Amino acid sequence: QPLCGFSNAVVQILRLHGVEDYNAHDVLQDPDLRQGIKNYSNWPTIPQVYLNGEFVGGCDILLQMHQNGDLVEELKKLGIRSALLDAEKDQDKK
């Protein structure tokens, strides 16, 4: 369960696309992990999103990718078909 609004937004975006297989870590419980991940990515904020181990960005970047369609394409590269594509197909049928 996400503990902040930004983390919740990331989870909701992933769920919109039908992504269910993801890992989440509570960095509030481990200050070393919290600082370590910021150092590792050279990104100052949490949450941080990685696709297939590659750093993508934070909540703002994931939201932007969702809004402009890039997330659908990135998921496709990972072999994940976005659930939004099926939703669009269903809308077109109506």
Alpha helices for 1-94 (secondary structure H):
5-16, 31-41, 59-68, 70-77, 83-93
H/E element, 55: strand 54-57
User: Is 59 marked as a binding-site residue?
Assistant: no
Residues flagged as binding site = 4
Residues flagged as binding site for [2Fe-2S] cluster = 4
